[in-house]
Structure 1
């Protein structure tokens, strides 16, 4: 694994195109580095842990959803800086990471990339977080490599639904061959502002939570992403990869793999999620053998951006319950 480092300036399936984090203050103090792995190059966002006289906090890894980036986790990473040594990946083809060498954007391929990174970084076992598509990816990681995972936190995980919500179906249709290119042509006159408003309305329970500064930041990032030559192709391949994961049966089924997860698991669902129904929380609670549930009223699909305080509090409770006696005495309570 080779890497270069540079500072960051302050500044169908129910799976969404998630906008970048619309909270500018939460980017301050983070760093980006480029990590080269066999078959993939990743951008990794990190936040140095808060200074403490006690032992170093345990490592954590955050994995975003379809169309998102590591920036989606900046609010939560900032709130947990005294509790974990956090890193967030840009999955291949998203954020600042180029597409994988083999063009494989399946859930299984993404899980292999996460495992490859954890093995190369030698930071495991980690507290592993995932949102939406990232939730499906880290579920697979936890099932096949339990040695790499201390706890699992899933925010609106994209696990198969027999009856997806109507509001999620348009996203699922992106998996149909030719649909993405058709959509790109039909919306070529849409501005980045129009697209960003649409995404916020889809992903947030209350888009009014986004500040004007945060909205401007999201628009700027969307404009940059639209200029990437592989943007639409990655969206099509990634959405198709999730559809394929939804149809797998037997031992490869995401629900069957959820049953294999040994790590203590925090499940986070929003009652106003237009992409993953909060009704799935009951099934998820039964599937993950050691789970606890946080249901957030009025919250949508990206709770770690909409209500990071509530997610941070729930994770701290999970962390406190799973630490050893010596670790517990040294861990700050937020």
Structure 2
């Protein structure tokens, strides 16, 4: 039985490591490794041509369905760990580091438009021999999930979109900041990572020292690739094309949106529902842009109820 609330154990581990005079990087690696293993996950990687792709998967596979988790812009596979903790006992979870993110390769010239990222993801899943799955994505990953479901309907059992990108009928606080050349999603100097967390998350989770400092170092090191990816998504996004494509989705779709989202206005959820046939929308009060981090148990419960209801309909 996996431990469902490992935060006390994390503190004990950190205390031990501090007394052992470990470096910040050592402490970070041990803490993140402990959180992964507590969720029943382990790291793995696969090589696709010149790309190395990192991902998390179940330590112990089971007879359940597969879930593929797709992170958002500037994020990585560990954004899903706390939600995955609620799922790995019954499902086989794969949380992917998309190219340009996390521990995967970060070529500047790969191509990072949303449609190109769908192609990259399809190659990854084919290499992992995943042919049928539940897919869930957050923000950019939510838009990728929607496009993937429209493109490969035979592969998708259900799709869950957490605060998805792709439709911006209703502007958010981020829009004004980007216009003013002050993008809080791309840290460029010390202190910017904390600003990013404050902006993206309404309900910030417990993150013990020194993990925030190490995460900031990683974010600053990724500034160049993050600017490339953000520009590719912004400059190539044709919302009318996106709407046309997702209108073709035939699979069951659940949209979960934090009402306090400052990155993408939650009212765009109604637009998604009006376009995707039979899609369902759930608004979470007191939650920001990343529900699976801010409310992992509730996010998992919503998925489980949604998947169960459609499994019963299929019988």
Residues 150/173 of structure 1: CA separation in 2 closer, same or farther (3 Å cut): farther
User: Does the Cα contact within 8 Å between 2:108 and 2:228 map onto a contact in 1?
Assistant: no
State the Cα distance separating 1:26 from its structure 2 match: 5.0
Q: C-alpha separation between the residues in 2 aligned to 1:103 and 1:111?
A: 13
Query: For 2:233, which of 232, 242, 247 is the aligned residue?
Result: 242
User: Deviating runs (4+, > 6 A) in structure 1?
Assistant: none
Out of 85, 89, 98, the position equivalent to 2:105 is 98
1:48 and 2:26 correspond: no
Shift of 1:103: 2.5
Cα distance in structure 2, aligned partners of 1:223 and 1:234: 14
Q: State the SS of the aligned residue for 1:234.
A: helix
In structure 2, C-alpha distance between the alignment counterparts of 1:266 and 1:169, rounded to whole Å: 29
CA offsets per residue over residues 34-65 of structure 1, 9 Å max, x none?
211245321011123576xxxx0111100101
Alignment check: 8 A CA contact 1:40 1:113 kept? no
Deviates more, 1:66-75 or 1:215-224: 215-224
Distance between the aligned counterparts of 1:201 and 1:168, measured in 2?
16
Cα offset, 1:324, TM superposition = 5.3
Contact 2:108 2:225 survives alignment (8 Å): no
RMSD: 2.7
Are 1:172 and 1:239, in contact at CA under 8 Å, matched by a contact in 2? no
- Cα distance in structure 2, aligned partners of 1:200 and 1:27: 24
- Any idea what SS the aligned residue of 1:109 has? helix
Give 1:275 shift: 0.8
1:217 equivalent in alignment to 2:208: no
Indicate yes or no: 2:26 matched with 1:31: no
- Per the normalisation by structure 2, the TM-score is 0.81
Closer, same or farther: CA 212–260 of 1 in aligned 2, 3 Å: closer
Question: Is the counterpart of residue 313 in structure 1 residue 307 in structure 2?
Answer: no
Higher relative contact order (CA 8 A, sep 6+): 1
Q: Secondary structure at the match of 1:42?
A: strand
- Retained in 1: the 8 A contact 2:113–2:237? no
Q: Which runs of 5+ in 1 are unaligned?
A: 1-7, 12-20, 329-334
Structure 2: gaps (5+ residues): 1-27
Aligned to 1:17: none
Structure-2 change in CA distance of 1:171 and 1:59 (3 Å): farther
Q: C-alpha separation between the residues in 2 aligned to 1:118 and 1:68?
A: 19
